[in-house]
Structure 1
Protein backbone atom coordinates (compact mmCIF):
# COMPACT_ATOMS: atom_id res chain seq x y z
CA UNK A 1 0.00 0.00 0.00
CA UNK A 2 1.35 3.43 -0.97
CA UNK A 3 2.22 5.73 1.91
CA UNK A 4 1.08 9.35 1.60
CA UNK A 5 3.80 11.72 2.73
CA UNK A 6 2.86 15.12 4.02
CA UNK A 7 4.93 17.89 2.48
CA UNK A 8 6.08 20.87 4.52
CA UNK A 9 4.68 24.32 3.75
CA UNK A 10 8.04 25.44 2.37
CA UNK A 11 8.18 22.48 -0.01
CA UNK A 12 4.63 23.13 -1.19
CA UNK A 13 5.50 26.79 -1.77
CA UNK A 14 8.65 25.82 -3.66
CA UNK A 15 6.71 23.44 -5.91
CA UNK A 16 4.08 26.11 -6.58
CA UNK A 17 6.72 28.66 -7.60
CA UNK A 18 8.48 26.11 -9.80
CA UNK A 19 5.21 25.33 -11.59
CA UNK A 20 4.53 29.03 -12.08
CA UNK A 21 8.03 29.55 -13.52
CA UNK A 22 7.40 26.72 -16.00
CA UNK A 23 4.15 28.45 -16.97
CA UNK A 24 6.04 31.74 -17.47
CA UNK A 25 8.59 30.00 -19.71
CA UNK A 26 5.88 28.42 -21.87
CA UNK A 27 4.00 31.73 -22.10
CA UNK A 28 7.04 33.92 -22.72
CA UNK A 29 8.69 31.70 -25.33
CA UNK A 30 5.67 30.21 -26.99
CA UNK A 31 6.25 32.00 -30.31
CA UNK A 32 8.72 31.03 -33.03
CA UNK A 33 11.36 33.62 -32.16
CA UNK A 34 11.22 32.84 -28.45
CA UNK A 35 14.36 33.58 -26.46
CA UNK A 36 16.33 34.65 -29.54
CA UNK A 37 14.21 37.81 -29.87
CA UNK A 38 14.80 38.66 -26.20
CA UNK A 39 18.54 38.70 -27.02
CA UNK A 40 18.46 40.24 -30.52
CA UNK A 41 16.18 43.16 -29.60
CA UNK A 42 18.37 44.78 -26.88
CA UNK A 43 21.59 44.11 -28.81
CA UNK A 44 20.22 45.87 -31.89
CA UNK A 45 18.99 48.78 -29.76
CA UNK A 46 22.38 49.09 -28.05
CA UNK A 47 24.13 49.23 -31.43
CA UNK A 48 21.80 52.03 -32.58
CA UNK A 49 22.31 54.03 -29.37
CA UNK A 50 26.08 53.43 -29.50
CA UNK A 51 26.24 54.70 -33.07
CA UNK A 52 24.39 57.91 -32.15
CA UNK A 53 26.47 58.59 -29.04
CA UNK A 54 29.66 57.44 -30.74
CA UNK A 55 29.24 60.17 -33.37
CA UNK A 56 29.46 62.68 -30.52
CA UNK A 57 32.32 61.30 -28.43
CA UNK A 58 34.36 59.29 -30.93
CA UNK A 59 33.43 55.81 -29.70
CA UNK A 60 34.73 56.23 -26.15
CA UNK A 61 32.72 57.69 -23.26
CA UNK A 62 34.68 58.69 -20.15
CA UNK A 63 37.38 56.03 -20.73
CA UNK A 64 34.98 53.15 -21.57
CA UNK A 65 33.74 51.99 -25.00
CA UNK A 66 30.47 53.65 -25.94
CA UNK A 67 28.91 50.24 -26.69
CA UNK A 68 29.61 49.10 -23.11
CA UNK A 69 28.43 52.46 -21.74
CA UNK A 70 25.08 52.09 -23.52
CA UNK A 71 24.81 48.37 -22.73
CA UNK A 72 24.89 48.94 -18.97
CA UNK A 73 22.35 51.75 -19.19
CA UNK A 74 19.88 49.79 -21.30
CA UNK A 75 20.27 46.50 -19.42
CA UNK A 76 19.75 48.10 -16.01
CA UNK A 77 16.65 49.92 -17.22
CA UNK A 78 15.17 46.92 -19.02
CA UNK A 79 15.82 44.68 -16.02
CA UNK A 80 13.86 47.03 -13.79
CA UNK A 81 11.06 47.83 -16.23
CA UNK A 82 10.37 44.30 -17.43
CA UNK A 83 10.59 42.85 -13.92
CA UNK A 84 8.33 45.57 -12.53
CA UNK A 85 5.72 45.18 -15.28
CA UNK A 86 5.78 41.38 -15.19
CA UNK A 87 5.46 41.20 -11.41
CA UNK A 88 2.68 43.80 -11.37
CA UNK A 89 0.56 42.00 -13.98
CA UNK A 90 1.30 38.51 -12.63
CA UNK A 91 -1.13 38.85 -9.71
CA UNK A 92 -4.11 39.73 -11.89
CA UNK A 93 -3.19 37.10 -14.49
CA UNK A 94 -2.97 34.42 -11.81
CA UNK A 95 -6.15 35.34 -9.98
CA UNK A 96 -8.04 32.15 -10.98
CA UNK A 97 -5.25 30.12 -9.35
CA UNK A 98 -5.94 31.70 -5.96
CA UNK A 99 -8.89 29.32 -5.63
CA UNK A 100 -6.24 26.78 -4.62
CA UNK A 101 -5.13 27.52 -1.09
CA UNK A 102 -1.52 26.57 -1.92
CA UNK A 103 -1.24 29.54 -4.32
CA UNK A 104 -0.89 32.96 -2.71
CA UNK A 105 -0.49 36.28 -4.57
CA UNK A 106 3.20 36.56 -3.73
CA UNK A 107 3.97 33.27 -5.51
CA UNK A 108 3.37 34.47 -9.12
CA UNK A 109 5.27 37.66 -8.31
CA UNK A 110 8.33 35.68 -7.25
CA UNK A 111 7.99 33.34 -10.24
CA UNK A 112 7.75 36.26 -12.69
CA UNK A 113 10.72 37.98 -11.05
CA UNK A 114 12.88 34.84 -11.28
CA UNK A 115 11.89 34.32 -14.91
CA UNK A 116 12.76 37.89 -15.88
CA UNK A 117 16.07 37.60 -14.03
CA UNK A 118 16.96 34.42 -15.95
CA UNK A 119 16.07 36.07 -19.26
CA UNK A 120 18.34 39.03 -18.51
CA UNK A 121 21.24 36.73 -17.60
CA UNK A 122 20.84 35.05 -21.00
CA UNK A 123 20.71 38.47 -22.69
CA UNK A 124 23.92 39.54 -20.93
CA UNK A 125 25.61 36.32 -22.02
CA UNK A 126 24.46 37.02 -25.59
CA UNK A 127 25.89 40.54 -25.47
CA UNK A 128 29.20 39.21 -24.11
CA UNK A 129 29.30 36.67 -26.95
CA UNK A 130 28.70 39.39 -29.54
CA UNK A 131 31.49 41.48 -28.00
CA UNK A 132 33.83 38.49 -28.11
CA UNK A 133 33.20 37.83 -31.80
CA UNK A 134 33.57 41.54 -32.59
CA UNK A 135 36.90 41.52 -30.67
CA UNK A 136 35.64 44.13 -28.20
CA UNK A 137 37.33 44.30 -24.83
CA UNK A 138 35.34 42.48 -22.12
CA UNK A 139 36.42 44.06 -18.86
CA UNK A 140 34.92 44.01 -15.36
CA UNK A 141 37.20 45.42 -12.66
CA UNK A 142 34.80 44.66 -9.79
CA UNK A 143 32.49 41.73 -10.65
CA UNK A 144 30.80 41.70 -7.22
CA UNK A 145 29.97 45.38 -7.55
CA UNK A 146 28.37 44.86 -10.97
CA UNK A 147 26.37 41.89 -9.69
CA UNK A 148 25.22 43.88 -6.64
CA UNK A 149 24.02 46.74 -8.85
CA UNK A 150 21.94 44.42 -11.02
CA UNK A 151 20.54 42.47 -8.06
CA UNK A 152 19.49 45.68 -6.30
CA UNK A 153 17.61 46.88 -9.39
CA UNK A 154 16.05 43.44 -9.88
CA UNK A 155 14.78 43.35 -6.29
CA UNK A 156 13.44 46.90 -6.57
CA UNK A 157 11.45 45.80 -9.62
CA UNK A 158 10.07 42.73 -7.81
CA UNK A 159 8.93 44.52 -4.67
CA UNK A 160 7.53 47.51 -6.52
CA UNK A 161 5.65 45.01 -8.69
CA UNK A 162 4.30 43.28 -5.57
CA UNK A 163 3.00 46.57 -4.17
CA UNK A 164 1.46 47.81 -7.42
CA UNK A 165 0.03 44.37 -8.25
CA UNK A 166 -1.90 44.22 -4.97
CA UNK A 167 -2.90 47.90 -5.11
CA UNK A 168 -4.26 47.52 -8.66
CA UNK A 169 -6.80 44.99 -7.45
CA UNK A 170 -8.25 47.75 -5.26
CA UNK A 171 -7.70 50.63 -7.69
CA UNK A 172 -7.54 49.45 -11.34
CA UNK A 173 -6.75 53.00 -12.50
CA UNK A 174 -3.27 52.64 -11.00
CA UNK A 175 -2.25 50.87 -14.21
CA UNK A 176 -2.48 54.19 -16.06
CA UNK A 177 -0.38 55.88 -13.38
CA UNK A 178 2.20 53.09 -13.66
CA UNK A 179 2.58 53.73 -17.38
CA UNK A 180 2.91 57.49 -16.81
CA UNK A 181 5.51 56.89 -14.11
CA UNK A 182 7.76 54.52 -16.07
CA UNK A 183 7.89 56.39 -19.39
CA UNK A 184 9.94 59.37 -18.12
CA UNK A 185 12.37 56.96 -16.44
CA UNK A 186 13.69 55.99 -19.87
CA UNK A 187 15.10 59.51 -20.29
CA UNK A 188 16.34 60.18 -16.74
CA UNK A 189 17.98 56.88 -15.78
CA UNK A 190 21.35 57.43 -17.42
CA UNK A 191 20.84 55.27 -20.50
CA UNK A 192 22.07 57.96 -22.91
CA UNK A 193 24.13 60.10 -20.57
CA UNK A 194 26.46 60.16 -17.61
CA UNK A 195 25.75 62.27 -14.56
CA UNK A 196 28.90 64.20 -15.45
CA UNK A 197 27.20 65.39 -18.65
CA UNK A 198 24.84 67.41 -16.43
CA UNK A 199 25.98 70.58 -14.59
CA UNK A 200 26.41 69.76 -10.90
CA UNK A 201 23.86 72.35 -9.76
CA UNK A 202 21.15 70.30 -11.50
CA UNK A 203 22.11 66.89 -10.07
CA UNK A 204 19.42 67.13 -7.40
CA UNK A 205 16.80 66.84 -10.16
CA UNK A 206 18.14 63.38 -11.08
CA UNK A 207 20.01 61.80 -8.17
CA UNK A 208 16.82 60.71 -6.38
CA UNK A 209 16.51 58.01 -9.06
CA UNK A 210 18.03 54.68 -7.89
CA UNK A 211 18.25 53.46 -11.50
CA UNK A 212 20.64 56.30 -12.30
CA UNK A 213 22.78 55.37 -9.29
CA UNK A 214 22.81 51.69 -10.27
CA UNK A 215 23.65 52.46 -13.89
CA UNK A 216 26.55 54.77 -13.05
CA UNK A 217 27.84 52.37 -10.39
CA UNK A 218 27.76 49.39 -12.76
CA UNK A 219 29.82 51.39 -15.26
CA UNK A 220 32.30 52.34 -12.54
CA UNK A 221 32.59 48.74 -11.29
CA UNK A 222 33.22 47.60 -14.86
CA UNK A 223 35.77 50.32 -15.66
CA UNK A 224 37.26 51.82 -12.50
CA UNK A 225 38.75 54.59 -14.64
CA UNK A 226 35.18 55.73 -15.37
CA UNK A 227 34.98 57.18 -11.86
CA UNK A 228 32.20 57.32 -9.28
CA UNK A 229 30.72 60.81 -9.14
CA UNK A 230 27.49 61.83 -7.40
CA UNK A 231 26.20 58.26 -6.86
CA UNK A 232 26.14 55.87 -3.91
CA UNK A 233 25.58 52.13 -3.49
CA UNK A 234 24.47 52.79 0.10
CA UNK A 235 21.63 55.01 -1.14
CA UNK A 236 20.34 52.26 -3.43
CA UNK A 237 20.62 49.64 -0.69
CA UNK A 238 18.86 51.79 1.91
CA UNK A 239 16.04 52.58 -0.52
CA UNK A 240 15.72 48.85 -1.27
CA UNK A 241 15.44 48.01 2.45
CA UNK A 242 12.68 50.60 2.92
CA UNK A 243 10.86 49.31 -0.16
CA UNK A 244 11.10 45.67 0.97
CA UNK A 245 9.76 46.50 4.44
CA UNK A 246 6.89 48.59 3.08
CA UNK A 247 5.97 46.05 0.38
CA UNK A 248 5.85 43.09 2.76
CA UNK A 249 3.85 45.01 5.37
CA UNK A 250 1.41 46.24 2.73
CA UNK A 251 1.09 42.73 1.29
CA UNK A 252 0.47 41.16 4.70
CA UNK A 253 -2.23 43.70 5.51
CA UNK A 254 -4.12 43.61 2.20
CA UNK A 255 -3.63 40.37 0.22
CA UNK A 256 -6.65 38.49 1.60
CA UNK A 257 -8.98 41.35 0.79
CA UNK A 258 -7.35 41.90 -2.59
CA UNK A 259 -7.94 38.40 -3.98
CA UNK A 260 -11.60 38.50 -2.98
CA UNK A 261 -12.29 41.58 -5.10
Structure 2
Protein backbone atom coordinates (compact mmCIF):
# COMPACT_ATOMS: atom_id res chain seq x y z
CA UNK A 1 0.00 0.00 0.00
CA UNK A 2 1.40 3.43 -0.98
CA UNK A 3 1.33 6.39 1.32
CA UNK A 4 0.30 9.80 0.17
CA UNK A 5 3.22 12.14 0.98
CA UNK A 6 0.81 14.99 1.69
CA UNK A 7 -1.07 12.87 4.24
CA UNK A 8 2.18 11.84 5.92
CA UNK A 9 3.30 15.45 6.07
CA UNK A 10 0.00 16.58 7.60
CA UNK A 11 0.24 13.92 10.30
CA UNK A 12 3.75 15.04 11.20
CA UNK A 13 2.59 18.66 11.28
CA UNK A 14 -0.27 17.78 13.64
CA UNK A 15 2.14 15.90 15.91
CA UNK A 16 4.42 18.95 16.03
CA UNK A 17 1.64 21.48 16.60
CA UNK A 18 0.01 19.63 19.49
CA UNK A 19 3.14 19.63 21.71
CA UNK A 20 3.74 23.28 20.84
CA UNK A 21 0.22 24.21 21.97
CA UNK A 22 0.67 22.33 25.25
CA UNK A 23 4.12 23.84 25.69
CA UNK A 24 2.66 27.32 25.26
CA UNK A 25 0.01 26.59 27.90
CA UNK A 26 2.71 25.41 30.28
CA UNK A 27 4.72 28.56 29.62
CA UNK A 28 1.70 30.78 30.32
CA UNK A 29 0.94 28.92 33.57
CA UNK A 30 4.59 29.18 34.61
CA UNK A 31 4.56 32.92 33.91
CA UNK A 32 1.36 33.34 35.94
CA UNK A 33 2.89 31.49 38.90
CA UNK A 34 6.06 33.55 38.54
CA UNK A 35 4.06 36.77 38.57
CA UNK A 36 2.15 35.69 41.67
CA UNK A 37 5.29 34.68 43.54
CA UNK A 38 7.36 37.74 42.63
CA UNK A 39 4.57 40.19 43.44
CA UNK A 40 3.18 38.76 46.66
CA UNK A 41 5.29 35.67 47.33
CA UNK A 42 6.97 37.13 50.42
CA UNK A 43 3.93 38.91 51.88
CA UNK A 44 1.67 37.23 54.46
CA UNK A 45 -1.17 35.44 52.71
CA UNK A 46 0.54 35.42 49.31
CA UNK A 47 -1.97 35.65 46.47
CA UNK A 48 -4.85 36.04 48.95
CA UNK A 49 -3.44 39.45 49.83
CA UNK A 50 -3.48 40.31 46.13
CA UNK A 51 -7.28 40.05 46.38
CA UNK A 52 -7.77 41.43 49.89
CA UNK A 53 -5.71 44.57 49.30
CA UNK A 54 -7.96 46.03 46.57
CA UNK A 55 -11.08 44.77 48.39
CA UNK A 56 -10.10 46.65 51.55
CA UNK A 57 -8.97 49.70 49.58
CA UNK A 58 -12.20 49.96 47.59
CA UNK A 59 -14.27 49.30 50.72
CA UNK A 60 -12.49 52.20 52.45
CA UNK A 61 -13.04 54.52 49.47
CA UNK A 62 -16.71 53.52 49.38
CA UNK A 63 -17.11 54.30 53.09
CA UNK A 64 -15.40 57.70 52.73
CA UNK A 65 -17.48 58.73 49.72
CA UNK A 66 -20.64 57.50 51.42
CA UNK A 67 -20.19 60.18 54.10
CA UNK A 68 -20.24 62.96 51.51
CA UNK A 69 -22.80 61.54 49.07
CA UNK A 70 -25.69 60.17 51.07
CA UNK A 71 -28.14 60.34 48.13
CA UNK A 72 -26.68 58.78 44.97
CA UNK A 73 -27.87 59.73 41.46
CA UNK A 74 -29.42 56.24 41.18
CA UNK A 75 -31.20 54.27 43.87
CA UNK A 76 -30.93 54.90 47.60
CA UNK A 77 -27.64 53.19 48.50
CA UNK A 78 -24.35 54.93 47.70
CA UNK A 79 -21.98 51.96 48.24
CA UNK A 80 -23.58 49.88 45.48
CA UNK A 81 -23.78 52.91 43.17
CA UNK A 82 -20.11 53.74 43.73
CA UNK A 83 -18.90 50.14 43.48
CA UNK A 84 -20.83 49.56 40.24
CA UNK A 85 -18.86 52.41 38.66
CA UNK A 86 -15.50 51.92 40.37
CA UNK A 87 -15.04 48.17 39.87
CA UNK A 88 -15.30 48.14 36.04
CA UNK A 89 -13.10 51.25 35.95
CA UNK A 90 -10.46 49.47 38.05
CA UNK A 91 -10.85 46.34 35.91
CA UNK A 92 -9.87 48.33 32.83
CA UNK A 93 -7.11 50.30 34.55
CA UNK A 94 -5.38 47.35 36.23
CA UNK A 95 -5.54 45.13 33.13
CA UNK A 96 -4.18 47.94 30.95
CA UNK A 97 -1.35 48.66 33.41
CA UNK A 98 -0.41 45.00 33.85
CA UNK A 99 -0.48 44.15 30.15
CA UNK A 100 1.51 47.28 29.27
CA UNK A 101 4.42 46.03 31.42
CA UNK A 102 4.42 42.51 29.95
CA UNK A 103 7.63 42.86 27.94
CA UNK A 104 9.50 45.08 30.41
CA UNK A 105 8.89 42.67 33.31
CA UNK A 106 9.78 39.52 31.36
CA UNK A 107 12.48 40.80 29.01
CA UNK A 108 15.08 38.34 30.32
CA UNK A 109 12.69 35.41 29.80
CA UNK A 110 12.11 36.39 26.17
CA UNK A 111 15.64 35.17 25.43
CA UNK A 112 14.31 31.62 25.75
CA UNK A 113 12.92 30.27 22.44
CA UNK A 114 9.79 28.83 24.11
CA UNK A 115 8.76 32.16 25.64
CA UNK A 116 7.10 34.66 23.30
CA UNK A 117 5.72 38.13 23.90
CA UNK A 118 2.23 36.68 23.37
CA UNK A 119 2.80 34.33 26.32
CA UNK A 120 3.82 37.18 28.60
CA UNK A 121 0.81 39.27 27.57
CA UNK A 122 -1.65 36.40 28.06
CA UNK A 123 -0.18 35.49 31.45
CA UNK A 124 -0.56 38.99 32.87
CA UNK A 125 -3.96 39.45 31.23
CA UNK A 126 -5.34 36.21 32.71
CA UNK A 127 -3.96 36.89 36.20
CA UNK A 128 -5.26 40.47 36.32
CA UNK A 129 -8.68 39.45 34.98
CA UNK A 130 -9.17 36.58 37.43
CA UNK A 131 -8.01 38.73 40.35
CA UNK A 132 -10.33 41.62 39.54
CA UNK A 133 -13.28 39.29 38.96
CA UNK A 134 -12.72 37.80 42.42
CA UNK A 135 -12.46 41.31 43.90
CA UNK A 136 -15.76 42.25 42.24
CA UNK A 137 -17.56 39.12 43.43
CA UNK A 138 -16.38 39.65 47.01
CA UNK A 139 -17.25 43.35 47.12
CA UNK A 140 -20.65 43.11 45.44
CA UNK A 141 -21.61 40.17 47.66
CA UNK A 142 -20.47 42.05 50.76
CA UNK A 143 -22.42 45.21 49.85
CA UNK A 144 -25.60 43.34 48.93
CA UNK A 145 -25.38 41.33 52.16
CA UNK A 146 -24.74 44.27 54.49
CA UNK A 147 -26.97 46.93 52.90
CA UNK A 148 -30.50 47.11 51.58
CA UNK A 149 -29.55 48.05 48.01
CA UNK A 150 -32.95 47.52 46.32
CA UNK A 151 -31.23 46.44 43.13
CA UNK A 152 -32.39 43.87 40.56
CA UNK A 153 -29.47 42.19 38.83
CA UNK A 154 -29.43 41.84 35.05
CA UNK A 155 -26.54 39.46 34.55
CA UNK A 156 -26.39 39.86 30.78
CA UNK A 157 -25.57 43.56 31.12
CA UNK A 158 -23.13 42.94 33.98
CA UNK A 159 -21.29 40.36 31.86
CA UNK A 160 -21.29 42.77 28.90
CA UNK A 161 -19.81 45.52 31.06
CA UNK A 162 -17.04 43.25 32.31
CA UNK A 163 -16.38 41.99 28.76
CA UNK A 164 -16.01 45.59 27.56
CA UNK A 165 -13.69 46.48 30.45
CA UNK A 166 -11.51 43.40 29.90
CA UNK A 167 -11.28 43.84 26.12
CA UNK A 168 -10.57 47.58 26.35
CA UNK A 169 -7.94 47.04 29.04
CA UNK A 170 -6.30 44.32 26.94
CA UNK A 171 -6.37 46.37 23.73
CA UNK A 172 -5.03 49.57 25.27
CA UNK A 173 -2.55 47.55 27.33
CA UNK A 174 -1.13 45.86 24.22
CA UNK A 175 -0.74 49.19 22.48
CA UNK A 176 0.91 50.68 25.57
CA UNK A 177 3.15 47.62 25.81
CA UNK A 178 4.58 48.56 22.43
CA UNK A 179 4.87 52.28 23.20
CA UNK A 180 6.38 51.84 26.67
CA UNK A 181 8.87 49.26 25.42
CA UNK A 182 10.10 51.62 22.69
CA UNK A 183 9.61 54.99 24.40
CA UNK A 184 10.05 54.99 28.18
CA UNK A 185 8.60 58.49 28.46
CA UNK A 186 5.20 57.15 27.33
CA UNK A 187 4.72 55.49 30.72
CA UNK A 188 4.75 58.90 32.44
CA UNK A 189 2.63 60.44 29.71
CA UNK A 190 0.02 57.68 30.10
CA UNK A 191 -0.11 58.11 33.88
CA UNK A 192 -0.77 61.84 33.36
CA UNK A 193 -3.52 61.09 30.83
CA UNK A 194 -5.21 58.65 33.23
CA UNK A 195 -5.29 60.98 36.24
CA UNK A 196 -8.51 62.79 35.25
CA UNK A 197 -10.06 59.57 33.87
CA UNK A 198 -11.63 58.79 37.24
CA UNK A 199 -13.57 62.07 37.13
CA UNK A 200 -14.77 61.83 33.52
CA UNK A 201 -15.70 58.14 33.34
CA UNK A 202 -19.03 58.12 35.17
CA UNK A 203 -17.72 56.63 38.41
CA UNK A 204 -19.43 59.18 40.69
CA UNK A 205 -22.06 60.56 38.30
CA UNK A 206 -24.30 59.46 35.44
CA UNK A 207 -24.56 60.78 31.91
CA UNK A 208 -28.10 62.13 32.40
CA UNK A 209 -26.92 64.61 35.04
CA UNK A 210 -24.31 66.26 32.80
CA UNK A 211 -25.47 69.41 30.97
CA UNK A 212 -25.24 69.43 27.19
CA UNK A 213 -23.14 69.57 25.12
CA UNK A 214 -20.62 68.30 27.69
CA UNK A 215 -22.50 65.05 28.17
CA UNK A 216 -22.16 64.18 24.49
CA UNK A 217 -18.46 65.02 24.62
CA UNK A 218 -18.00 62.54 27.43
CA UNK A 219 -19.53 59.76 25.34
CA UNK A 220 -16.34 59.73 23.29
CA UNK A 221 -14.76 58.25 26.41
CA UNK A 222 -15.32 54.46 26.14
CA UNK A 223 -15.15 54.12 29.94
CA UNK A 224 -18.42 56.07 30.19
CA UNK A 225 -20.12 53.27 28.25
CA UNK A 226 -18.61 50.61 30.51
CA UNK A 227 -19.67 52.17 33.82
CA UNK A 228 -23.14 52.94 32.47
CA UNK A 229 -23.59 49.36 31.24
CA UNK A 230 -22.58 48.03 34.65
CA UNK A 231 -25.10 50.30 36.39
CA UNK A 232 -27.81 49.20 33.98
CA UNK A 233 -27.09 45.69 35.23
CA UNK A 234 -27.88 46.69 38.82
CA UNK A 235 -30.71 49.20 38.43
CA UNK A 236 -33.78 47.77 36.75
CA UNK A 237 -35.23 51.15 35.71
CA UNK A 238 -31.94 52.43 34.27
CA UNK A 239 -31.75 51.56 30.57
CA UNK A 240 -28.66 53.57 29.54
CA UNK A 241 -29.75 53.49 25.90
CA UNK A 242 -26.76 55.59 24.87
CA UNK A 243 -24.34 52.74 25.64
CA UNK A 244 -22.63 51.35 22.54
CA UNK A 245 -20.75 48.08 23.14
CA UNK A 246 -19.72 48.01 19.48
CA UNK A 247 -17.93 51.35 19.96
CA UNK A 248 -15.94 50.03 22.93
CA UNK A 249 -15.13 46.69 21.30
CA UNK A 250 -14.03 48.48 18.11
CA UNK A 251 -11.56 50.65 20.00
CA UNK A 252 -10.29 47.63 21.92
CA UNK A 253 -9.88 45.53 18.76
CA UNK A 254 -8.24 48.34 16.81
CA UNK A 255 -5.72 49.20 19.53
CA UNK A 256 -4.96 45.54 20.28
CA UNK A 257 -4.54 44.52 16.64
CA UNK A 258 -2.33 47.51 15.83
CA UNK A 259 -0.22 46.84 18.91
CA UNK A 260 0.21 43.15 18.05
CA UNK A 261 1.21 43.94 14.46
CA UNK A 262 3.97 46.29 15.56
CA UNK A 263 5.05 44.09 18.47
CA UNK A 264 5.53 41.25 15.99
CA UNK A 265 7.35 43.58 13.60
CA UNK A 266 9.76 44.93 16.24
CA UNK A 267 9.92 41.79 18.40
CA UNK A 268 13.68 41.27 18.04
CA UNK A 269 14.45 44.94 18.60
CA UNK A 270 12.37 45.04 21.78
CA UNK A 271 14.28 42.09 23.25
CA UNK A 272 17.56 43.96 22.85
CA UNK A 273 16.44 47.29 24.34
TM-score, normalised to structure 2's length? 0.85
- Superposed CA offset, 1:170-198 (max 9, x none): 21111111111111111111111111121
The structure 1 residue matched to 2:35, chosen from 24, 27, 30, is 24
SS of equivalent residue, structure 1 residue 147: helix
Aligned mates of 2:252, 2:173 — CA distance in 1: 13
120-129 or 108-117, larger mean C-alpha shift: 120-129
CA distance in 2, matches of 1:64, 1:132: 13
**Residue in 2 aligned with 1:207?**
219
User: Which residue is equivalent to 2:52?
Assistant: 36
Number of aligned residues: 253
Q: 1:229: Cα distance to partner? A: 4.7
How many angstroms does 1:89 deviate by? 1.6
Match among 200, 208, 233 for residue 188 of structure 1: 200
How far 1:79 sits from its partner (Å)?
Answer: 0.9
Determine whether 1:234 maps to 2:232: no
CA deviation map 1:107-133 (0-9, x unaligned): 222111111111112211221332244
Q: CA deviation at 1:201?
A: 1.7
**CA RMSD, Structure 1 to Structure 2 (Å):** 2.1
Partner of 1:130: 142
Computing the radius of gyration from Cα coordinates, the structure with the larger value is: 2
Structure 1 unaligned regions, length at least 5 = none
**Contact 1:46 / 1:74 at 8 angstroms: preserved in 2?**
no
Name the counterpart of 2:24: 13
Matched residue, 2:175: 163
Closer, same or farther: CA 239–61 of 1 in aligned 2, 3 Å: same
CA distance in 1, matches of 2:203, 2:263: 32
Contact 2:80-2:149 within 8 A present in 1 as well = no
* CA shift in 2, pair 1:138/1:224, >3 Å: closer
Moved more, 69-78 or 239-248: 239-248
Q: Distance in 1 between matches of 2:254 and 2:182?
A: 23
**How far has the Cα of 1:157 moved from its partner?**
1.2
